[in-house]
Amino acid sequence: MKNSRLVAGNWKMFTTPEEARTLTSEIVRHQTAFGPVEVALFPPFTSLAAVREIVGKTKIRLGGQNMHFESEGAFTGEVSGQMLKASGCSMVILGHSERRQHFGETDQIINRKLKKALGVGLAPIFCLGETLSERKSGKTFEVLERQLTHGLEGLSFDEIKLVIAYEPVWAIGTGVNATPQQAAEAHRFLREKLAALIGVPITQNLCILYGGSVKAEIAKGLFAEKEIDGALVGSASLKAAEFVEIVKKARI
Ligand code: PGA
């Protein structure tokens, strides 16, 4: 477990720049209550500039929800890691199940994106997690192992400066969260696998977030698990008061 936690807000395809400004201002108003908890916001690309104006002078980090693995080129509708950096981002979410599910992102594509992000100095939040049918058929660990090994293929220990988010697909946007025990079990597995993969016990410094229907009311139970280093929050991050409450509960 890390000695400080990270709570990240994934705003998905919500907020106009104006709405993003209002939401960010509300969150920033409470920043003294965050204590040592790191906070990162992931607005849609079109709201990055608006959020940056407000968080620029704070410790709150800014990130993109996705990026392409090339630096530039004829890829209509895409943005690159360099563009995110130049827009004030220090982080990027990669491998989110919605990207895998709706946009055909494979482990191989995610691997290329992770390499690129790390290469340009963005800290990725690398998301992985099993579907309900995979869990029901006892394949959870098999799926996690596959996503982890393929996603990180070819990366050396020095390069792996990332955050992992365990997000069971069945818990995302469903209101059904994994129990703290289920999440801790998956986190422990990922930590062990990664240590074995890299051959170095880096597990102490590795930050593993839980994501999937995180709300203020369940945050305390989740954070009671020492394996859980923070949360990737979707819908509850669109309500400033609720998001701030989750951040407060992450204080150690
Ligand atoms: P949720 O989303 O909190 O709305 O379930 C989490 C995520 O997709 O990162």
Centroid of ligand 1 to alpha carbon of 74 (angstroms): 31
- Confidence band (pLDDT; 50, 70, 90) for 42? very high
Residue 177, pLDDT above cutoff 80: yes
CA of 212 to the centre of ligand 1 (A): 5
Q: Which residues pair with 211 in a beta bridge?
A: 232
What confidence score (pLDDT) does residue 162 get?
A: 86
For atom 6 of ligand 1, the residue with the nearest CA is 234
| Closest atom of ligand 1 relative to the 232 alpha carbon | 9
Say how many Å lie between the CA of residue 94 and the centre of ligand 1: 14
Whole-number Å distance, alpha carbon 36 to ligand 1 midpoint, is: 23
CA-nearest residue for atom 3, ligand 1, is: 234
Q: Which residue numbers are catalytic? A: 96, 167
Mutate to test the pocket of ligand 1, among 103, 132, 233, 239 (most ligand atoms within 8 A of CB): 233
* Nearest of 111, 67, 107 to residue 91 by alpha carbon: 67
Is 205 or 200 the better-scoring residue by pLDDT?
205
- The tokens for 25 are 């201002």
Six token digits for residue 192: 């062990």
Q: Which of 12, 45, 18 is nearest to 127 (CA)?
A: 12
Quick one: which atom of ligand 1 is closest to the CA of 215? 3
Q: How far apart are CA 42 and CA 48, in angstroms?
A: 8
Which residue type does 206 have?
L
What pLDDT was estimated at residue 155? Answer: 86
Q: Output the residue whose Cα is nearest ligand 1's atom 1.
A: 234
Q: Is the dihedral of CA 90, 110, 227, 200 positive or negative?
A: negative
Q: Is pLDDT of 200 > 90?
A: no
- Distance between CA 30 and CA 196 in Å, rounded? 40
Tell the residue nearest (CA) to atom 9 of ligand 1: 234
**Span 110-135, pLDDT tens digits:** 999 999 999 999 999 999 999 999 99
Q: Which residues line ligand 1 (CB under 6 A)?
A: 10, 167, 172-173, 211-214, 232-236
Q: Are 43 and 17 in contact (CB under 8 A)?
A: no
- The reported pLDDT for the residue numbered 58 is 97
